[in-house]
Amino acid sequence: LVIMSSSAGSLIISKSSKLSKDGPLRLILASKSPRRREILDMMGLKDKYIVLSSPLNEEELQLELSQLLNASKEDSTNSFTPIDYTKKLAESKAYALVMQMVDGKSEAYNTFSHRCTYVLGSDTIVDLDGSILEKTKNSDDAKMMLSKLSGNWHSVHTGVAIYRINHENQNEVELVSSFTD
């Protein structure tokens, strides 16, 4: 993977001939989101990655991050923003899977026959005036969210994080790129 950064953010350009599900360079998507798979497929990575759910307890982390966000609204010296929230979610999702793989807690995550594994985590949030609108749980929840958004400007932030595990160097873990768009 080649990461190109610009003032507008980072762009991930794949060297798809180098990546495969079971080759020396492996890509794992730490999400079961159909939209995330669709995006990777559109990038030319169809059948060149595998999907594994992150073991991260997202609800617990979202509660913690919401508390940081609320504290930031009350204290101007603390500048935790919805963009920070999104980036932290993406990084945490990928990192939790990386640590599970490195710790060898499940055979399903054994990738030590590969030279290098890239783990991609991503998350998207809706930001309405600095407040995060969490994923809806049912149709009533969705109707309530749509009524809040109706006639109001809002932002949608997507965080992306890519970690690399170098299996040839004692499973060294490196955050390759992390950004929010």
pTM: 0.84
CB 133 within 8 A of CB 66: no
Give the Å distances, CA to CA, from 145 to 23, 25, 89, 132, 176: 44, 41, 21, 11, 35
CB 86 within 8 A of CB 121: no
**123 a catalytic residue:** yes
Q: Please list the pLDDT of the chain residue by residue as tens digits (181 residues).
A: 555 554 455 555 555 567 777 777 888 999 888 999 998 888 888 888 889 999 999 889 988 998 888 888 787 777 888 999 999 999 999 999 999 988 876 554 555 567 888 999 999 999 998 888 888 889 999 999 999 999 999 999 999 999 999 888 888 899 999 999 8
Residue among 22, 123, 129, 140 flagged as catalytic = 123
